[in-house]
Structure 1
């Protein structure tokens, strides 16, 4: 830790990219690094041996060949450096996913005035190759594994190339300020919906109530106060006013009622109920210890409920 702290004080350029960066991210020359590759080191040793042999035997053609190869290697360094210089990451998009699924992330690089071939972006130990044609933009799609609910951060990304000759590795670090929301996994198979104890959404059914529904023929046992005398006189038969009985049809999912399950199991069951209610097109309410969502139905309501479950305590 002391060595790292000293490096941060003495050489801030080596550690400044540990912090998140807002978009857009511009790769200027001061944040691009170059080192010879293993092939480049072997090639340099070969050139040194060729030069010594040419000088020892006074072989001018061999000396000229050595100088030409060294010049080509040196120019390849600048060609690779120009591939990364002034590159700009302008936008990042992602879609939420559930635990166990692959989170899809898209990195969009701005339009480049010159071609940038053989670029690679490394995330999680996996390289994603891409290229940018002159006068066009490029999008790099990545799939990140999601193991826990909550916020998932890609972390630092290594953008690099070893072209055109593979003699040098030129790279830079990207640390975009982005987080991907990971929804909880759903319990499988989906348990039956809970019996409603309360709700807001109502639908009607024939029965005793206060809302007039229509007329029907008199049946034995109907109270006289419900007989429609004027309508009965017109139809020459007894007709009875039928009323609507309103009852609740809103699903109510409550975290506190799942007492026999641990915290994560409750969240998985609530997630399964939400997805099943959306598939059945039934309005639902989600009640958590600190908030109540709904009643509602649709993508916005589903996203709000799953987000609340994903960010409950113990989420990353």
Structure 2
């Protein structure tokens, strides 16, 4: 039994691999996509192959010995098996993939691909599994809607080449596997991995100096209500006594003008090392709430600005820089 099951599994895997080259779709497609009968494929599982061999053996024995009860049982089991093929097909029929996307991440971190699926809530869908490459996740539908999250490994910066996504099930009896492919036309971006260690963020230059709140600043900016975790040294006792409530001093610390992150000022660093250093400085500038300007070769400067949108624009520009020479 074990040998037959393993051989059947190898045959099934090879057959699925050969069929996948001819299966729909053969290229990226716009979403939403609804699975119809032409997109759903069904093949027996290794257990299903063993079950069919067992039924064939039982049927031959029943006919040979003219055993009508055994023949009736064999036919009933065969009918149940055929019904399970139809049931597996119906698990995926009319299933709709509405959206697929992921937030950009730094190279080396897993990309969280979210696949949103909808179906008729009147029909229960069980045992659904979503796969892309080596990543896999289970999919559960609640009121006809569900989401699966796939962790896709990343290596290089730039656009991520998304493979086809397979949605499959072995329900209701595990005798057959039904599956369908979808290839979302979803642009997934991978940011450059920031430099692990390096020089600090360059100081700003110019007349556009700013000040930012800092607990160890020089000048008192304003008073605010006490919050859990505030230092006792920052409490303004006299104003607190007058207002009968704890007040805390907020300080401000002078901060340099807009930071300029210039590609040309990175000296003899290799091409990719420059990209990683600039990516690190962009993150540091955002963390310190600094306004910064990114200057890259052969394209307009970005900024000065700050915030999530500006950070995304800068990291996107760094991620999409063409591959350069080893040095320069």
> Could you tell me whether the CA contact under 8 Å between 1:201 and 1:283 is conserved in 2?
no
TM-score with structure 1 setting the length: 0.77
Aligned to 1:272: 280
Q: Within 5 Å, give how 1:185-224 maps onto structure 2.
A: 185-194=193-202, 196=204, 201-202=208-209
> Could you tell me whether the CA contact under 8 Å between 2:194 and 2:277 is conserved in 1?
yes
Alpha-carbon offset, residue 177 of structure 1 = 0.5
Once residues 248 and 121 of structure 1 are traced to their aligned partners in structure 2, the CA distance between those partners, rounded to angstroms, is 50
Secondary structure (helix, strand or coil) at the match of 1:54 reads helix
> Could you tell me whether the CA contact under 8 Å between 2:159 and 2:189 is conserved in 1?
yes
Aligned to 2:261: 253
Q: Within 5 Å, give how 1:80-159 maps onto structure 2.
A: 80-113=88-121, 114-133=123-142, 135-159=143-167
Secondary structure (helix, strand or coil) at the match of 1:101 reads coil
Asked whether 1:61 is paired with 2:69, we answer: yes
Secondary structure (helix, strand or coil) at the match of 1:92 reads strand
Alpha-carbon offset, residue 301 of structure 1 = 1.0
RMSD of the alignment, in Å?
Answer: 2.3
Q: Within 5 Å, give how 1:163-312 maps onto structure 2.
A: 163-194=171-202, 196=204, 201-202=208-209, 249-289=257-297, 290-312=299-321
Task: List runs of 5+ in structure 1 lacking aligned partners.
Answer: 1-10, 205-246
Secondary structure (helix, strand or coil) at the match of 1:140 reads strand
* Superposed structure 1 runs of 4+ greater than 6 Å apart: none
TM-score with structure 2 setting the length: 0.74
Once residues 146 and 177 of structure 2 are traced to their aligned partners in structure 1, the CA distance between those partners, rounded to angstroms, is 22
> Which range moves more in the overlay, 69-78 or 109-118?
109-118
* 1:124-158 CA distance string (max 9 Å, x none): 2233122324x420111111111111111321011
> Could you tell me whether the CA contact under 8 Å between 2:128 and 2:139 is conserved in 1?
yes
Asked whether 1:44 is paired with 2:52, we answer: yes
Once residues 195 and 65 of structure 1 are traced to their aligned partners in structure 2, the CA distance between those partners, rounded to angstroms, is 84
> Could you tell me whether the CA contact under 8 Å between 1:285 and 1:294 is conserved in 2?
yes
